[in-house]
Structure 1
Amino acid sequence: MESRILELFRAYEEDPGVKLIIMKGEGRAFCAGGDVAAFVNGSSEHRANVLETSYTLNYVSATYTKIQVSLLRGIVMGGGAGISLHGRFRVVTDNTVFAMPETTIGSFPDVGASYFLSRLPGFFGEYVGLTGAKLDGAEMLACGLATHFVPLEKLSSLEDALCKANTGDPEIIDNIIHDFSNKNPKLKENSQYSRLKSIDRCFSQRTVEEIISALEKEADRKMDDWILWTIKTLKKASPTSLKIFLRSIREGRLEGVGQCLTREYRMTCKVLQAVFCKDFNEGYRAVLLDKDKKPKWEPSKLEFVSDDMVDYYFAPLDQDSQDLKLPARSNLPSCAISKL
């Protein structure tokens, strides 16, 4: 599917008759992510091809010369975020559910997540990426992952209006979406985004261990369900995944989208090579195959994941593997998140 989308993106960019790209899912969800089973069970050559195609598509989307409007109905997770959040306009609705839950299956948020999550206010990106927390449409708009919130019953009418306008002018497109939008959808009473001050205090810490310690101190002062859930979730996730993602998002703050994708490609290749850690295969078994939800991570604790082990994921690939070679692009990243 991504191969076909990339092919169309390239063709449409050269076609003067194409004014804009509208991305939407068929059915109840936008996209719940990649097929992990096919990926785990595929050959090394298949995996490399899938990764190269996926990351190249993310990069082409982020640097696209024409306008991309993503209509994010239902679930938007993992790879689904990669093919939508790099675009210019990201429209969420009443039933949108976003998450990057990779640390729960022994991987890490990729597809450019170290770019778009690191651009969120404060350290909200660290919180979302480390915990895999689910955000609704109103929270996505509040934190900047979305550009507009359109009520579900108006989504089809918006699409019709965009098609009838037959324009690639970003100002006109913005005004059209704005006309259908709910400008200030109300955040739920227990919204995670309303916890931003607490999140900043805790997730600004230098290490995962210090983040958990800060959360435990918050719990000592005021125990509630959110703090309990956050601590429990971090302690259940793959220790290696947590450590490599924290470094990834911190590096991503200082990098462009192409640099982030190239580094994440290298990191994913190392995860799959499973030299120090086989957590991805174990996470797939526990969460998606056997579904016992009792993964046996190895290393099993944060203190057993050394700095040298983390460094390995950021080192150049060996001679038998080739780094990602992104296509030359003339356009700067169109992702509005980068302007926050």
Structure 2
Amino acid sequence: MALTSQVLVTQNSDVRTIKLNRPKQLNALSLEMESRLLELFRAYEEDHSVKLIIVKGEGKAFSVGGDIPAVINGIKCASSKQRESFFQTAYTLNYLSATYTKIQVSLLKGLVMGGGAGISLQGRFRVVTDNTVFAMPETALGSFPDVGASYFLSRLPGFFGEYVGLTGARLDGAEMLVCGLATHFVPLEKLSSLEDALCKANSGDPEIIDNIIHDFKNPKLKENNQYFRLITIDRCFSKRTVEEIISALEKEADRNMDDWILWTIKALKKVSPTGLKIALRYIREGRFQGVAQCLIREYIISCKVMQAVYCRDFFEGYRSLMIDKDKNPKWEPSKLEFVSDDVVDYYFAPLDDQDWQDLKLPIRSNLTSYAISKL
């Protein structure tokens, strides 16, 4: 499929609709797609005739995230500079979305994961629906949830962000709305009507857009909604270390043999120990940083994960889940107690390379109050 057909654009007066168009790949984002999206975001911000941008996905998913097979193959063939370029493009796109001066409405139908979350959950309006499923499953891949997740997960109520980021828990649209990841819920059968109404309004006024979306009803939370577990999540995921979090969950299980608690313990024990420790630290630190600081730090960590100096868990997770599909990764180190503080510190420190440069994000001017609040 040609690059131009992987990202489609529809112009409707002063509204631009960007559609991710790799439905067979569940709209997994390639470097070429992200480069094209970055080009479009930059162009529309400078175009005074553009008032509103709608972003959506073709088919059953908004986007499952980055095209991992392409990333792995690219890393094997690429120089360190080429690897860094991949993350520079992705994180610059995330930053523009987070600080955009035009209004972005993301229509989040189906799966929203990883990089798909990065280009949508930073925007002003995030509309979910009946079949929306969100997750940041990176720890199961031997990595950590990036693309600005240290910013948007750390700002969820209580310690819900630690729970979502460490376990890779899947949230439905109603759960996303109540925890703040989404701004609106629209029934699936009305999503096309909403898009038509936004195009017809032809407005970049956030109050007008908000009123249009609010004309549609909100959902009811299910009885087994994970957000209802927030008291238990706060009690356990507020602990200082991953080991202490698991111990607290096990004590909860001793008092109350609960399927959700057992699943949470199992999930934490199955994923990468190194990925867990990186994720916990960076979500905690993200609470006190702006989106730019979070992305600059994530850039350093991502480059080091790909270098695989101390740990090759990302490549092992890829093998286990996508190549051999045995779902039995051999993490190294294999246990949390073997992941020292020094190793975790390594991922947060600048690279020991005289040619290394931190992520250079574009200088932003004339920002809206919404965007300024995220800096």
Normalising by structure 2, what TM-score?
Answer: 0.88
Residue from 217, 221, 230 that aligns with 2:255: 221
**CA distance in structure 2 between the partners assigned to 1:47 and 1:156 by the alignment:** 38
Report the residue type matching 1:6 in the other structure. L
RMSD: 1.4
- Partner secondary structure for residue 364 of structure 2: coil
Unaligned runs of 5+ in 1: none
- Aligned counterpart, 1:13: 45
**CA distance in structure 2 between the partners assigned to 1:110 and 1:193 by the alignment:** 22
TM-superposed CA distance for 1:271, in Å, is 0.5
**CA distance in structure 1 between the partners assigned to 2:368 and 2:252 by the alignment:** 41
- Partner secondary structure for residue 356 of structure 2: coil
- Aligned counterpart, 2:140: 104
- Aligned counterpart, 2:356: 321
**CA distance in structure 1 between the partners assigned to 2:247 and 2:306 by the alignment:** 30
- Partner secondary structure for residue 167 of structure 1: coil
Cα displacement string for residues 226-266 of structure 1 (whole angstroms, at most 9, x for unaligned residues): 01100001000100000000000001000000000000000
Residue from 114, 139, 151 that aligns with 1:115: 151
Are positions 1:249 and 2:283 aligned together?
Answer: yes
Unaligned runs of 5+ in 2: 1-32
- Partner secondary structure for residue 326 of structure 2: coil
Report the residue type matching 1:153 in the other structure. E
**CA distance in structure 2 between the partners assigned to 1:88 and 1:13 by the alignment:** 14
Runs of 4+ with >4 A deviation:
335-338
Q: Is the 8 A contact 1:21 1:69 kept in 2?
A: yes
TM-superposed CA distance for 1:187, in Å, is 1.2
Cα displacement string for residues 292-321 of structure 1 (whole angstroms, at most 9, x for unaligned residues): 011000000000000000000000122243
Q: Equivalent residues in 2 for 1:43-58 (5 A)?
A: 43=78, 44-58=80-94
Report the residue type matching 2:314 in the other structure. F
Sequence identity of aligned pairs in percent? 79
Report the residue type matching 1:62 in the other structure. A
- Higher mean displacement: 87-96 or 319-328: 319-328
Q: Is the 8 A contact 1:75 1:97 kept in 2?
A: yes
Cα displacement string for residues 14-51 of structure 1 (whole angstroms, at most 9, x for unaligned residues): 11111111000011110011011111121134322211
Q: How many residues align?
A: 336
Question: Relative contact order (alpha carbons < 8 A, sep ≥ 6): 1 or 2 greater?
Answer: 1
TM-superposed CA distance for 1:332, in Å, is 5.9
Q: Is the 8 A contact 1:144 1:337 kept in 2?
A: no
TM-superposed CA distance for 1:57, in Å, is 0.3
- Aligned counterpart, 2:321: 287
Q: Is the 8 A contact 2:99 2:372 kept in 1?
A: no
- Partner secondary structure for residue 62 of structure 2: coil
Residue from 71, 90, 112 that aligns with 1:76: 112
- Partner secondary structure for residue 250 of structure 2: helix
Q: Is the 8 A contact 2:198 2:209 kept in 1?
A: yes
Q: Is the 8 A contact 1:257 1:333 kept in 2?
A: no
Q: Is the 8 A contact 1:120 1:337 kept in 2?
A: no
TM-superposed CA distance for 1:335, in Å, is 6.7
- Higher mean displacement: 314-323 or 2-11: 314-323
- Partner secondary structure for residue 281 of structure 2: helix
Q: Is the 8 A contact 2:95 2:292 kept in 1?
A: yes
- Aligned counterpart, 1:162: 198
**CA distance in structure 2 between the partners assigned to 1:248 and 1:144 by the alignment:** 20
**1:336–1:301 CA distance, 2 compared to 1 (3 A):** farther
